[in-house]
Structure 1
Amino acid sequence: MATYADLKRENFQTTIDGKPVDLFTLRNRKGMVVRITNYGSKIEQILVPDRNGVLGDVVQGYDSIDGVMNGQASMGSFIGRYCGRIDQGRFTLDGVAHQASVNSPPNTLHGGQRGSRFRVFDARQIDESSLELTYVFQDGEEGFPGTLPLRLVYAVDDDNALTISWTAVAADKTTIANFTDHTFFNLSGDGGASILDHVATVRSDRYLALGDNAVPTGEMVPVAGTPHDFRSPTAFGARIGLPDRMLALGHGYDLHFVIDKPAGVLAPHALVLHPASGRTLEVSSTEPGLQVYTGNFLEGKTPRDVGKGGTLYQKHSGFCVEPSQFPNAVNIPSFPSTVLKPGQWYTGRIVYGFGVA
């Protein structure tokens, strides 16, 4: 018997900003199912088997568009035009100062007041296993310069992997771009259960130090001897309560790890295991860093944290593994550049590979 919520397409069908919203279903030949709404390009459900072959829903989400709009804004979203924080929302390009909209005072977070999390993407189902989503960031939107058309493709394969691929181009002006996926995972299949028992391995020996405003300072700190050392498999809960400035600042893990690999090359970033079910998630990406977040601001609030099937999303009931360029890179010259000159393309991939141990 299914223990996961049966998401109904009609509960997501509406019109927002004059554009049609829907729920799209991707399937492979092994029974994996991924459901995505084109509002915010949000993943609402991923069904994959445990070690006994029992399908379970391994992501948090909502069972109606009303739930999505009243819920956690980032949950399941594709984030743009610029994910992470920009210090005070300020940056300079070609000698011109820009002020992006501030939505996490004093900073800009995840694209501003109405970043892609709050936008309706144009959607086209390519086939049973893939979906195309497009959106054009307008010149001046949220204070960012330049027109930036974005094309996304979500595709599942028969190895139970979900690949998110993007292409974007600076159409007319110098601009900045930094994308990620913000899915909240819980590999147990119970979206209300704690993820502190999940065991994570992160292929990183440095993290980005944060200032008091939670923005990277430019310093890269060795993980050795800190609670942030996940080079060997370690439960999220093993050290989350230790006295540590970064943990205190984020109310848990909310830190960007440096992934040492050639620029633009698809490579593994992290592996997460839920020991009881045996489910594993390996995240790979083309991006140079990985934000690890342990659902520190899930609070069991109504209606914001009432998820599928009435499940209450409490603190530490979901984790995020968000490959991206470094936050605030536009203001830190030593970081890989997120600047796009006119005609320059930004392409990338995130692969979520599901398995069992």
Structure 2
Amino acid sequence: MSTHDDFTLTTGDAEATVSPRNGGRITSLRIGGVELLRQGERYGCFPMAPWCGRIREGRFLDGGTTQQMPLNAPPHAIHGTARDHAWRTARKGADEAVITLDLADPWPYPARLTQVVALTEESLTLTLAIETHGSSFPAQLGWHPWFNRTLEGPLGGGEGARLEFDAAWQEERGEDHLPTGRRLEKPLPGPWDDCFGMPGGVDVAVVWPERLELRVTSPEKWVVLYDEQDAALCVEPQTGPPNGLNTAPRLVTPLEPLEATTTWRWRRL
């Protein structure tokens, strides 16, 4: 077995499939045989690193140096580079695994990403860290899951999923899809492709009425919610807002790595 090969973690009736070769993403999460994640090469749940969401025109400042990232969502750069590379499996058990990636071009700094995937009968926990033994640099970490709007199989039928949450504010979104810097104390109604602030930690429920609730939590205070498609919706906990490498950078140094974690916990309704 290659260190890039897909594998599946299993415990009870929960199964999570990890694809190191496809950007370190979780390609499947099945509960009692029911698939919760949208299927497809670019879906599932991928790690966002070393930045989250969009960078304005792909440029960010590191001290007095301007760094340019590829414009993969013109006129911006989006979701980092980690999803574009094959990761390696460092350790794998029945219900927990560790995968790693050494960042290379176009990211201009030496850095290593480590993701821990831990499955229980009632939850999936993802932990992501970025470290360097070279130059310091600004970074962000997060995840971009695509949850199926409707379920099939034993939990299928009925209403599509809805999002339930209580945010302290919503980042006002400009015409360029980036935060304007203004905070809205009363979040606007959806559909959303927007960043929300939760100072006490991210806590968002994906609810398939009368079937299943999946609660996404994280100690981080930022989350992007996306529900503009009929097929899926997204709950994206992250360490900073979109364009955060410019507006709210978190510095990674040889002595201080950056780490984030999220837990998805489910229950039948």
Residue 131 of structure 1 pairs with residue 97 of structure 2: yes
List gaps (5 residues or longer) in structure 2: none
Match of 2:262 in 1: 350
Match of 1:61 in 2: 39
The 2-side partners of 1:217 and 1:201 are apart by 25
- TM-score, normalization by structure 2: 0.90
Please tell me whether Structure 1 or Structure 2 has the larger radius of gyration of its CA atoms. Answer: 1
Could you report, residue by residue, the CA deviation over 1:166-209 in whole angstroms, capped at 9, with x for unpaired residues? 22213211212212222211264239x99973232213131111
| Corresponding letter in the other structure for 2:14 | M
Residue 339 of structure 1 pairs with residue 251 of structure 2: yes
Match of 1:166 in 2: 128
Counterparts of 1:20-99 in structure 2 under 5 Å? Answer: 21-28=4-11, 30-38=12-20, 39-49=22-32, 55-62=33-40, 68=41, 73=42, 75-99=44-68
Match of 1:105 in 2: 74
The SS at the match of 2:148 is: coil
Residue 200 of structure 1 pairs with residue 134 of structure 2: no
Residue 274 of structure 1 pairs with residue 188 of structure 2: no
The 1-side partners of 2:253 and 2:175 are apart by 32
What is the Cα-based RMSD across aligned positions, in Å? 2.3
The SS at the match of 2:263 is: strand
Is the 1:195–1:316 contact (alpha carbons within 8 Å) kept by the matching residues of 2? no
Counterparts of 1:155-194 in structure 2 under 5 Å? Answer: 155-158=118-121, 160-186=122-148, 188-190=150-152
Is the 1:56–1:189 contact (alpha carbons within 8 Å) kept by the matching residues of 2? yes
The 1-side partners of 2:9 and 2:115 are apart by 14
The 2-side partners of 1:211 and 1:326 are apart by 13
The SS at the match of 1:319 is: strand
Could you report, residue by residue, the CA deviation over 1:190-243 in whole angstroms, capped at 9, with x for unpaired residues? 39x99973232213131111222111122211225x31xxxxxxxxxxxx4xxx
Residue 257 of structure 1 pairs with residue 190 of structure 2: no
The 2-side partners of 1:175 and 1:127 are apart by 33
Question: How far off its partner does 1:269 sit?
Answer: 1.4
Paired residues in the alignment total 265
Match of 2:219 among 279, 286, 296: 286
Question: How far off its partner does 1:342 sit?
Answer: 4.0
Is the 2:147–2:234 contact (alpha carbons within 8 Å) kept by the matching residues of 1? yes
Question: How far off its partner does 1:75 sit?
Answer: 4.1
| Corresponding letter in the other structure for 1:260 | P
Match of 2:244 in 1: 329
The 1-side partners of 2:258 and 2:230 are apart by 33
- TM-score, normalization by structure 1: 0.69
Runs of 4+ residues over 6 Å off in structure 1: 193-196
| Corresponding letter in the other structure for 1:166 | L
Is the 2:109–2:135 contact (alpha carbons within 8 Å) kept by the matching residues of 1? yes
Match of 2:87 in 1: 121
Is the 1:26–1:33 contact (alpha carbons within 8 Å) kept by the matching residues of 2? yes
The 1-side partners of 2:241 and 2:158 are apart by 25
Is the 1:146–1:172 contact (alpha carbons within 8 Å) kept by the matching residues of 2? yes
Q: 1:81 to 1:34 in 2, by over 3 A?
A: same
Match of 1:216 in 2: 179
The SS at the match of 1:322 is: strand
The SS at the match of 2:146 is: coil
The 2-side partners of 1:74 and 1:46 are apart by 12
Q: 1:190 to 1:179 in 2, by over 3 A?
A: farther
| Percent identity over paired residues | 21
Q: 1:48 to 1:134 in 2, by over 3 A?
A: same
